[in-house]
Structure 1
Amino acid sequence: MMRTAMKKRRRRRHGQPRQRDLVVVDQSESRRPMSPCSAPKLLRLLLVSLFLLACTCAAASSSVTEDVQYLSPKMARIQRHLDRLNKPSTRTIQSMDGDTIDCVPRHEQHALDHPLLKSHKIQLAPPRMPASSTSPASAASSSNSTSSNRAARRAWQTWHHAGHCPKGTVPVRRTTAEDVLRGRRSLFRFGRKHHRRDRAPRAANAPDVVTGNGHEHAIAYTAVGQQEVYGAKATINVWDPSIQESNGFSLSQLWLLSGSFNGSDLNSIEAGWQVSPELYGDSRPRLFTYWTSDAYEATGCYNALCPGFVQTSSRVAIGASISPVSSLAGEQYDMTLLIWKDPKLGNWWLSYGDGGASQLVGYWPAELFTHLSGHASMVEWGGEVVNTSPGGAHTATQMGSGRFAGEGFGRASYFRNLEMVDAGNSLAPVSLDAVQTLAEDGGCYDIRKAYDERDGWGTHFYYGGPGHNPACP
Structure 2
Amino acid sequence: MASCDHNRSPITRIFVSYLVLVLVSSSLAPVVLSISTDHPVQSNQTFRSAQELLKLKRIRTHLTRINKPPLKTIQSPDGDLIDCVHSHHQPAFDHPLLQGQKPQDPPERPQGHNPRNRVSESFQLWTLSGDSCPEGTIPIRRTREDDVLRANSIRRFGRKLAKPVMRDSSSSDHEHAVGYVTGEQYYGAKASLNVWSPKVADRYEFSLSQIWVISGSFGDDLNTIEAGWQVSPELYGDNYPRFFTYWTSDAYQTTGCYNLLCSGFVQTNNKIAIGAAISPTSSYDGGQFDISLLIWKDPNHGNWWLEFGSGLLVGYWPSELFSHLREHANMIQYGGEVVNTSPSGSHTSTQMGSGHFADEGFGKASYFRNLQVVDWDNSLIPLSNLRVLADHPNCYDIQGGINSVWGNYFYYGGPGNNEKCP
Normalising by structure 2, what TM-score? 0.86
Instruction: Give the secondary structure class of the aligned counterpart of 1:424.
Output: coil
Can you list the C-alpha shifts for 1:81-110, whole angstroms capped at 9, x where unaligned?
000010001110000011100000000001
Q: Residue 440 of structure 1: CA displacement?
A: 1.2
- Corresponding position: 1:230 with 2:187: yes
1:213 is the counterpart of 2:180? no
**Pair 1:247-2:204 in alignment:** yes
Alignment partners' CA distance in 1, 2:44 and 2:157: 30
Superposition TM-score, scaled by structure 1 size: 0.77
How much has 1:161 moved relative to structure 2?
A: 1.0
TM-aligned CA distance change 1:69 to 1:207, over 3 Å: closer
Amino acid at match of 2:128: H
Q: Residue type matched to 1:194 in 2?
A: L
Contact 2:209 2:229 in 1 (8 A): yes
1:369-388 to structure 2, matched below 5 A, reads 369-388=322-341
Q: What secondary structure sits across from 1:115 in the alignment?
A: coil
Aligned-residue offset at 1:71:
2.1
Within the candidate set 138, 149, 152, 1:170 is matched to: 138
Q: CA deviation at 1:195?
A: 3.8
1:404 aligns with 2:357: yes
CA distance in 1, matches of 2:126, 2:221: 37
Return the alpha-carbon distance in structure 1 between the equivalents of residues 117 and 413 of structure 2. Answer: 24
Segments of structure 2 that go 5 or more residues without pairing to the other structure are 1-41
Shift of 1:115: 1.1
| Counterpart Cα distance in 1 of 2:281 and 2:359 | 21
The residue number in structure 2 matching 1:270 is 226
Looking at structure 1, the residues matched to 332 and 368 of structure 2 have their Cα atoms a distance apart, in angstroms, of 14
Contact 1:207/1:221 (8 A) holds in 2: no
2:373 corresponds to which residue?
A: 420
Contact 1:155 1:325 survives alignment (8 Å) = no
Output the amino acid matched with 1:286.
R
CA distance in 2, matches of 1:425, 1:208: 27
Does the alignment pair 1:285 with 2:241?
yes
Secondary structure of residue in 2 paired with 1:193: coil
Larger CA Rg, structure 1 vs 2? 1
For residues 283 and 359 of structure 2, the distance between their equivalents in structure 1, rounded to whole angstroms, comes to: 17
Instruction: Determine if the alignment matches structure 1 residue 161 to structure 2 residue 128.
Output: yes
Q: 3-state DSSP class of the match of 1:461? A: strand
Q: Separation in 2 of the partners of 1:422 and 1:352?
A: 20
> Which residue in 1 is equivalent to 2:267?
311
Cα-Cα RMSD: 2.2
1:55-454 counterparts in 2 under 5 A?
Answer: 68-126=49-107, 128-132=108-112, 143-144=116-117, 156-162=123-129, 163-183=131-151, 185-196=152-163, 207-208=166-167, 210-223=169-182, 225=183, 227-261=184-218, 263-354=219-310, 358-431=311-384, 434-453=385-404
Counterpart Cα distance in 1 of 2:257 and 2:147: 15
1:415-452 CA distance string (max 9 Å, x none): 00001111111111223xx1100001111010000112
SS at match of 1:228: strand
- Cα distance in structure 2, aligned partners of 1:443 and 1:418: 25
